[in-house]
Chain A
Amino acid sequence: MSGFITLLKRDLLLAVREGGALGTALGFYLIVVTLMPLGLGPDLNLLTRIAPGVLWVALLLAALLSLPRLFEADHDDGSLDVLALGSLPLELVAASKSLAHWISTGIPLALMAPVLGILLNLEARAYPLVIGTMLAGTPAISFLGSIGAALTLKTRRGGLLLALLVLPFYVPTLIFGISAISAALTSPQGFQASFLILMAISLVSMVLGPVAAAAALRQHMQ
């Protein structure tokens, strides 16, 4: 387990030192959300209605930007070969790297969402709901995304292919994230069911994602 923590710490340190991935993701998020009211016009009621959906979709796209680098950097400099020789199984290597991606990208994006909500006239009572569902849903984005990142590892400009591969898998997260928000805004009972399913999706992807990603990484080493 100490290998897991060591690797996690290194990846977070690298994310801080190199910084580019998070900056790009946050910048992209800001731009996409800013374009919405410009494109749709200043209809405040309309913006309020679509705000949670726009924030969620833009978050998915922004998180995708940094996914191709998840294993690529370690593959390019030979670290991945050495990581595979540790006492840590490759599944936990993949899990550690996905967790680092969630901490360094998923959480900052989720925390930035309410700031961008101002641009979309997000209802005041929806703010905690947006942050809550995003924090609960974004682990699925990192852990499911790790499968796509591992599969497209040796593909040149694999970013687009990666998006095609993993975006369909984000549909359940998106649906239950949005439905939890809208249910809570209309009736208090509906929130819990959707939110629990959202967390279940995240937990399942935390288990399955690393296993599938490690299988793909083993194939790449052949």
Chain B
Amino acid sequence: MQLSVKDLAVERAGRRIINNLSFEVSSCEALLLTGRNGAGKTTLIRTLAGYLTPTDGSVALKGYGEDRERREACHYVGHLNADKASLTVIENLRFWARYLGGGSNAASANGAQDRLWTALERFAIDPLADIPAGYLSAGQKRRLGLARLLVADRPLWLLDEPTVSLDVQSTALLAGVIEDHLANGGLVVAATHLPLGLANSRELKLGGQMSTAPAKGGALQ
């Protein structure tokens, strides 16, 4: 499987944030996006997830079924954790497992249940399973959001600042989870300021002279 980005250009409010960007990410590979604030890391990740429509160029996921849409191959963890304060930790996770898993590969209720607990254990929030998510600390909520990655099989992980509000131990847990995903043939694109200590990763530095120049025909001209 290969994520291939060609001549990508994305505009936000008439400004060209990403200009003429091309790169490829293959299976078992992680791409770390770096760059100063406003360099377009979030814009790029949201474009890869399909939320933003590119002005120019293309994003393609080769080797994923032709008839399936790219969004179904993606896990997106953004700045918000997508948790419901009044649902317990396990209820939150169970909902996403069922919703994102689509029910097709839900072999048995027991297997699915085991998987939820494994995900919680990987991020060390299993003791909190029966607590409403509203009572969790910022770092615990973050780990709950990240646990979503483990409950539905999706090859492409798009992580936007996944280490925000995580402590050192939790960051190490996350790095381990990412390593395992890569070892299983997954792809990871992550915007991060911290080095995650991954073996097989490349860095893409975004931003530079283009990011602040108004686009042709933009609102500022």
Contact = CB atoms under 8 A, between A and B. Distances in A.
B170 to A, nearest CB: 19
Contacts of B99: 3, 6-7, 10, 83, 86, 88
B51 A222 contact: yes
A14 interface: yes
Nearest to B154: A85
Contacts of B96: 82
Interface residues of B, number: 29
Interface of B: 46, 49, 51-53, 71-72, 74-76, 78-84, 86-87, 91, 95-96, 98-100, 102-103, 145, 148
A21 to B, nearest CB: 12
Interface of A: 2-3, 6-7, 10, 13-14, 17-18, 76-79, 81-88, 221-222
Contacts of A77: 80-84
B52 A222 contact: yes
Given A2-B98, A6-B99, A85 B76 contact: yes
Given A81-B51, A222-B51, A86 B82 contact: no
B96 to A, nearest CB: 7
9 contacts: A3-B98, A3-B103, A6-B95, A13-B91, A81-B49, A82-B96, A84-B71, A85-B75, A85-B76
Given A6-B98, A86-B100, A86-B102, A79 B72 contact: no
Ranked 3 nearest A-B pairs via Cβ: A78-B80, A2-B103, A17-B86
Contacts of B95: 6, 10
Nearest to A6: B98
A17 B76 CA distance: 27
A13 B98 CA distance: 15
A93 to B, nearest CB: 10
B79 A82 contact: no
A219 to B, nearest CB: 11
A78 B95 CA distance: 14
Contacts of A76: 80
Given A82-B76, A85-B71, A222-B51, A3 B102 contact: yes
Nearest to A16: B86
